[in-house]
Amino acid sequence: MLKALLLENLHPQARSILEAAGFEVTTRTGALDESELVEALDGVHVLGIRSKTHVTAAALESATDLVAIGAYCIGTNQIDLGTAASHGIATFNAPFSNTRSVVEIAIADIISLTRRQTELDKAMHDGVWNKSAIGAHEVRGRTLGIIGYGNIGTQLSVLAENLGMSVVFYDTAEKLALGNARRLDSLDELLDVADVVTLHVDGRSGNAGLFGAKQFARMRPGALFLNLSRGFVVDYAALRDAVVAGHVAGAAVDVFPVEPKRKGDAFDSELRGLPNVILTPHTGGSTEEAQDAIGQFVSNKLRDYLATGSTTLSVNLPNLALDQPPGAHRLAYLHRNVPGVLAAVNATLAEHGVNIEGQLLATRGELGYVVTDAGSAVDQAVVDALRSRPESVRLRVLS
């Protein structure tokens, strides 16, 4: 029986879908460190995580039974994707399922900061009635600067325009502007005009330290700052200095360079205690609706990969999907992308009298992936011959 290990308190849908597909599923509520993960992966075929568990090269190399990883979140920088691919371990994430949830919390943060809700709320809880319009504004007519115009940035752009905001954005990749949003040519140009600056970049290593003292100084006096992307892209000590100096009027931060592994663990940050600063524990995508959708999406991808070999939307293997006719016997062959592999596969099948009924090949960088449907059962001799080839990474017989 295939075994799955699901960590970090995933939505029950994640477990129920895999169990319905015949998996034996073990769940744990918290994240694991490397040594714990190495031990826990013994005999495990599928691993499910969120953002706290780091799947290192050492953990992957020791997990000889592991076939697939599901990142039940958007980011995959917590996984050594190259090592996973080199061991034939497919990785899937949920690039779209919690987009709306992140966008809504960004809108809520923007309105709350613009109206100084955090300061007024604290004063009321302290028993102080401080009714004043000073420093409180409408978002209508203000300029939102979006850094990173991907799935989240584009949807935020549309909703912000519906609130009457003007939207500008900056992205290193060519992106189509939605609505009346305007693309700017540089980050500095965006910082010069934005009343609210919000980061929605991905977790690639090149984004580390993207926003620091220089960028905060460039922002307009009294502007607001949001980071709901990755903790390591911002220098939070510089943000604290900018808020204390009054140059940045408020901030909302949902992600941090170092985050506690488990619910209830202690948390510290140089941003604690600052006025008009909203701190949330990496909950941008943590709505019941989003977690339900993520649980379904990723578990379905894992189930389909194990059952049919479909790698559609895998983040580290060549992407392909081949319809499987009834009665077909499927071989899923991951290999190094060198010339002649497809010819060798077909020659091996022909030598053993196996007729090919369907076949599809895709490549991605140094890897190739060919799925073949045979009209009859494949002998162990065929399997042994393919596995013994020098370019082989992983061969799976799926029926």
357 belongs to the catalytic site: no
Q: Which of 115, 230, 330, 335 is catalytic?
A: 230
Question: Per-residue DSSP letters for 273-332?
Answer: T-TTEEE-SS-TT--HHHHHHHHHHHHHHHHHHHHH---TTBSSS--------TT-EEEE
364 belongs to the catalytic site: no
Which residue type sits at 142?
Answer: R
Q: Which of 282, 303, 330, 335 is catalytic?
A: 282
Q: Which of 259, 329, 336, 357 is catalytic?
A: 259
Determine the Cα–Cα distance for residues 309 and 370; give it in Å rounded to an integer.
10
Determine the Cα–Cα distance for residues 146 and 131; give it in Å rounded to an integer.
32
Determine the Cα–Cα distance for residues 253 and 330; give it in Å rounded to an integer.
48
With contact defined as beta carbons under 8 Å apart, do 275 and 36 qualify?
no
C-alpha closest to that of 362 among 311, 299, 310, 320: 320
Determine the Cα–Cα distance for residues 191 and 14; give it in Å rounded to an integer.
41
61 belongs to the catalytic site: no
Determine the Cα–Cα distance for residues 297 and 375; give it in Å rounded to an integer.
31
With contact defined as beta carbons under 8 Å apart, do 79 and 91 qualify?
yes
Handedness of CA 262, 263, 268, 270 (dihedral sign): positive
Determine the Cα–Cα distance for residues 309 and 331; give it in Å rounded to an integer.
8
DSSP state of 55: B
Which residue type sits at 140?
Answer: R
With contact defined as beta carbons under 8 Å apart, do 17 and 40 qualify?
no
C-alpha closest to that of 147 among 23, 233, 264: 233
Determine the Cα–Cα distance for residues 334 and 353; give it in Å rounded to an integer.
22
Which residue type sits at 304?
Answer: D
C-alpha closest to that of 282 among 73, 38, 29, 63: 73
Determine the Cα–Cα distance for residues 148 and 226; give it in Å rounded to an integer.
12
Which residue type sits at 382?
Answer: V
Q: Which residues are catalytic?
A: 230, 259, 282
